[in-house]
Structure 1
Amino acid sequence: MPDATMKPLILLDIDGVLNPRARVASPDGSLELVLSDAKIALVNRLAVFGRIAWVSTWPAEQTAGLESQLRLGNEALRVPLPARALNESESPTPKLRPVTRWLARMELSGEATWDSVVWIDDVLGPDAREWARGFRRQVLLVRPMPAEGLTEAHVVAVEVFVESGS
């Protein structure tokens, strides 16, 4: 039986979900991602429900910049995504294989401290739905429209999922 204090893992994409603005941050041309106030508020609400894990090809420097804007209560996790594998993927959900491998590694190492999974990504295909149905924990898939990204309705869906006991 899961620990009553366990919360969901929230797998969170960046592009097509948070839609940050990229700007040049230094003379060397490095980029900084800047979130709108509305997206910051929505992600902070999500962070109350569970632990955030980035599922994005953006480098760690940029996701660290997002975390400093978000002021999350705990450090976000990061699912490693090999860019080459994503570019060559013929899967409707290119991130599915790396996400599945990462979740299995976390479970085997005893670091899977969540009772369910919420995956928010603008590219979730029928293979992700099939995976979710067969996964050993409850899964909620949330697929925002890329132009709009994460909305209030998506956060409410996560809230209902969490409050229903996943």
Structure 2
Amino acid sequence: MKPIILLDVDGVLNPKVHRGDGDRPDLHLSDAKVALVRRLATKGRIAWVTTSPADVVAGLDAQLELDVEPLRVKVEMRDSDAEEPTPKLSSVARWLERMEASGEADWDSVVWIDDVLGPDVHDWAHHLNQPVLLEKPVPEQGLTEAHVVAVQVFIDGGKRRKTDSL
């Protein structure tokens, strides 16, 4: 399997925020998080799922120096999304549908790593026409070795069934 890996920033990568040029902060990842994201990027295509501005995320891209530039899910938070258990779910679902409709979806499974995944995401995952792995890091720790191993097991298993590890 070659998944799209939907990756949140805050609560997952937990970058340190430094004063940047102008009004924008600079985000800096720990060496451990950089290594984990680079390993994930060898397993599938990374797509940022964050409300952080594009130029801030571009700083993460530069720091990671990945072979393939990550995609960016356009997170359009509507008022009703704030009340949902998984506020980014409707944005992610719309983005995946647009990518598939335009023929740009070259993945055969979905991995979503986010610290805010509620029970509604399970129903969505079970109705998606591709296998799905959901990983929900504890925000204080963020992405860990265990999450990367879970992604590897999911990919190596190659099972054509819906999966989640919440």
TM-score band w.r.t. shorter chain: over 0.9
Contact 2:86 2:117 in 1 (8 A): yes
Determine whether 1:55 maps to 2:38.
no
Gaps of 5+ in 2: 160-166
Determine whether 1:115 maps to 2:108.
yes
1:32 maps to: 26
Determine whether 1:91 maps to 2:84.
yes
TM-align CA RMSD: 1.3
1:149 maps to: 142
1:66 maps to: 60
Gaps of 5+ in 1: 1-5
**TM score, norm. by length of structure 1:** 0.92
Q: Secondary structure at the match of 1:18?
A: coil
**Take 1:101 and 1:25, find their aligned partners in 2: how far apart are those partners?**
32
Identity %: 60
Cα distance, 1:68–1:57 mapped onto 2, change above 3 Å? same
Aligned length: 159
**Take 2:79 and 2:46, find their aligned partners in 1: how far apart are those partners?**
21
**Take 2:87 and 2:58, find their aligned partners in 1: how far apart are those partners?**
23
Runs of 4+ in structure 1 over 2 Å off: 86-89
Single out whichever of 136-145 and 17-26 deviates more from structure 2. Answer: 17-26
1:78 maps to: 72
**TM score, norm. by length of structure 2:** 0.92
> How far 1:75 sits from its partner (Å)?
1.0
